[in-house]
């Protein structure tokens, strides 16, 4: 072996040891994630080194972080400041306070909420609102497809832009790449819409000035004239979801809101838009926010992501679960929780709350689906009832607690939503809306099978080994 080869091996070994030290010393990482990366780096030195550099930390450049935080600080004064939710010391108060701490604005009061009856109707409602827009249309989707629903929204945007409405359209550069490269994207630009390819993948040295390549804008935000907003799990696509049609139909929820919470959602949109395009939306946000309705409900919109303090989304989920006194029903397609979230679910069940979780039976992510099932034994032993939906891919991310508190949005209960992706959710307190959402959950339960707790807990040795290995590597996904 030549001196050059020896030198190369010494450099590689030193780099490998440096990355191992980095994985151990990184502040804020939970012990399970630390152990998983350490195991990977030791077991697969070369592959592990490359994977860690690319995916080991939810990193963004200093410039990106500073810009994002500065923009958000500049937009915060435009958040409406009605009386903070008067929940007093009731069971839901701390849940709202947790969301207030994450968003840094108070819970808004006097909001109206309506749950769309199905995915196609949700798009029809959105198109109708865009067609009625007089001033502005702000849309941000993770996945926007060139299908019936996707085209309907594109055509509505074009009509609005041509009549002088300012249309700001953001689509994730990876999730919506097919649309971005299609004639529909060009149609919107030619009609006068302002377009943004959200979180474009940086190449070359730009990688160092940007962000982790797989960090995505997973938000689904629509704000019309600053007076109407939509929030939920639904992408801009048909339930048939052509890019993954063998899992269809994709089952989602989308809710329409009016009231001061709309301004909060618009700030979430504006913060991302300004960082990426440089356009200052301060003048727009300085307009009078929507007036509260005297018959409205308390609600708060919150955006999370890699610029949030670590663990923010997990804390928000846990706070909603901590409010539960009698029941909590959760739907999520992807389940790879961090220890705090898992502990919150288990604790709720152990204190006597009737916790139900509905997962899809067939998951478009085989690995994440397997990781989710690996947690079944721990969940059922705590008293959680687990169901698997058979009527397609249940993509809805919902939680209803005690028939009064409801959470709806884009966040899954996996590591991507908890640590990596930009997400948006709305927490609200309304017996009427919670009942509507609970009824929707019950429809999914009618088309689901309950997992037999005895079969789950009496696993053969090989299955226990596989499940334990999956939970060990869960932090990598």
User: pLDDT in tens for each of the 477 residues of the chain?
Assistant: 576 666 767 777 788 788 788 878 777 677 777 777 888 888 878 787 777 776 777 667 788 889 999 999 999 999 987 554 444 568 899 999 999 999 999 999 999 999 999 999 999 999 999 999 999 999 999 999 999 999 999 999 999 999 999 999 999 999 999 999 999 999 999 999 999 999 987 654 445 545 666 789 999 999 999 999 999 999 999 999 988 889 999 999 999 999 999 999 999 999 999 999 999 999 899 999 999 999 999 999 999 999 999 899 999 999 999 999 999 999 999 999 999 999 999 999 999 999 999 999 999 988 889 999 999 999 999 999 999 999 999 999 999 999 999 999 999 999 889 988 999 999 999 999 999 999 999 999 999 999 988 888 787 777 777 777 777 767 766
pLDDT score recorded for residue 183: 97
Q: Determine, yes or no, domain membership for 71.
A: yes
Q: Determine, yes or no, domain membership for 303.
A: no
**Residue 399 and residue 406 in contact, taking contact as beta carbons nearer than 8 Å:** yes
Going by the DSSP 8-state scheme, the letter that residue 86 receives in this structure is -
pLDDT score recorded for residue 225: 98
The pLDDT tens digits for 437-461 are 999 999 999 999 999 888 887 877 7
pLDDT score recorded for residue 386: 98
pLDDT score recorded for residue 131: 98
Give the domain-ending residue among 236, 267, 298. Answer: 298
pLDDT score recorded for residue 205: 44
Taking each helix axis from N to C end, the angle separating 3-25 and 45-55, rounded to the nearest 10 degrees, works out to 50
d(C-alpha 25, C-alpha 39), whole Å: 15
Instruction: List, by residue number, the catalytic residues.
Output: 218, 220, 225, 395, 397, 402
Q: What is the pTM of this model?
A: 0.91
Q: How many CB atoms lie within 10 A of CB 473?
A: 18
pLDDT score recorded for residue 60: 72
pLDDT score recorded for residue 413: 97
* 75 and 175 part of one domain: yes
* 463 and 366 part of one domain: yes
Q: Determine, yes or no, domain membership for 306.
A: no
Read off the CATH number of the domain in which 415 is found: 3.30.870.10
* Full domain range(s) for residue 7: 3-55
Closest CA to 255 of 234, 224, 278: 234
Q: Determine, yes or no, domain membership for 101.
A: no
What total of structural domains would you count in the chain? 3
pLDDT score recorded for residue 3: 67
* 43 and 68 part of one domain: no
What is the pairing mode between strands 254-258 and 228-232? antiparallel
* 250 and 133 part of one domain: yes
* 147 and 165 part of one domain: yes
* 203 and 249 part of one domain: yes
Per-residue tokens: 414 = 């996996």
* 79 and 199 part of one domain: yes
Q: Determine, yes or no, domain membership for 28.
A: yes
pLDDT score recorded for residue 87: 47
Calculate the dihedral angle through the C-alpha atoms of 179, 184, 185, 187, rounding to the nearest 10 degrees: 180
Map tokens 């049609």 to a residue: 245
pLDDT score recorded for residue 477: 65
CA–CA distances in Å: residue 32 to residues 35, 309, 417: 5, 18, 17
* 148 and 221 part of one domain: yes
The pLDDT tens digits for 52-90 are 776 777 667 788 889 999 999 999 999 987 554 444 568
Give the domain-ending residue among 265, 298, 331. Answer: 298
pLDDT score recorded for residue 11: 75
């Amino acid at each position: 072996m030549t001196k050059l080869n020896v030198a190369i091996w010494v450099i590689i070994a030193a780099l490998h040891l440096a990355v191992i030290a980095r994985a151990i010393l990184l502040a804020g990482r939970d012990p399970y994630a630390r152990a998983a990366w350490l195991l990977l780096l030791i077991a697969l030195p070369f592959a592990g080194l490359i994977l860690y550099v690319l995916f080991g930390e939810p990193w963004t450049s200093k410039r990106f972080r500073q810009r994002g935080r500065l923009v958000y600080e500049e937009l915060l004064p435009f958040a409406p400041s009605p009386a903070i939710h008067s929940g007093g010391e009731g069971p839901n108060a701390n849940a709202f306070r947790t969301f207030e701490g994450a968003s840094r604005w108070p819970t808004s009061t006097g909001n109206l909420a309506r749950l769309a009856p199905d995915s196609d109707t949700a798009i029809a409602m959105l198109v109708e609102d865009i067609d009625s827009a007089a001033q502005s249309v702000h849309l941000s989707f993770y996945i926007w497809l060139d299908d019936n629903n996707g085209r309907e929204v594109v055509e509505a945007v074009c009509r609005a832009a041509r009549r002088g409405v300012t249309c700001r359209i953001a689509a994730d550069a990876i999730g919506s790449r097919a649309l971005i490269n299609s004639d529909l994207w060009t149609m919107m630009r030619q009609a006068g819409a302002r377009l943004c390819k959200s979180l474009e993948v940086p190449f070359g040295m730009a990688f160092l000035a940007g962000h982790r390549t797989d960090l995505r804008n997973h938000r689904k935000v629509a704000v019309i004239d600053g007076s109407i907003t939509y929030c939920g799990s639904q992408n801009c696509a048909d339930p048939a979801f052509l890019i993954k049609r063998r899992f269809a139909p994709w089952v989602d929820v989308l809710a329409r809101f009016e009231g001061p919470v709309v301004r909060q959602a618009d700030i979430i949109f504006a913060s991302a838009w300004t960082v990426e395009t440089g356009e200052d939306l301060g003048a727009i946000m300085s307009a009078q926010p929507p007036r509260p309705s005297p018959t409205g409900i308390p609600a708060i919109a919150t955006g999370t992501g890699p610029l949030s303090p670590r663990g923010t989304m997990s804390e928000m989920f846990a706070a909603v679960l901590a409010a539960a006194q009698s029941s909590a029903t959760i739907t999520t397609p992807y389940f790879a929780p961090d220890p705090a979230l898992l502990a919150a679910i288990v604790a709720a069940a152990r204190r006597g709350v009737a916790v139900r979780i509905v997962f899809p039976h067939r998951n478009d992510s085989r690995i994440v689906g397997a990781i989710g099932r690996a947690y079944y034994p721990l969940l059922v032993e705590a008293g959680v009832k687990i169901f698997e939906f058979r009527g397609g891919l249940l993509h809805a991310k919902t939680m209803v607690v005690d028939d009064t508190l409801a959470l709806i949005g884009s966040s899954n209960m996996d590591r991507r939503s908890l640590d990596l992706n930009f997400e948006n959710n709305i927490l609200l307190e309304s017996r009427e809306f919670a009942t509507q959402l609970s009824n929707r959950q019950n429809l999914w339960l009618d088309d689901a099978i309950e997992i037999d707790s005895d079969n789950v807990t009496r696993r053969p040795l090989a299955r226990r080994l596989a499940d334990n290995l999956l939970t060990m590597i869960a932090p990598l996904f």
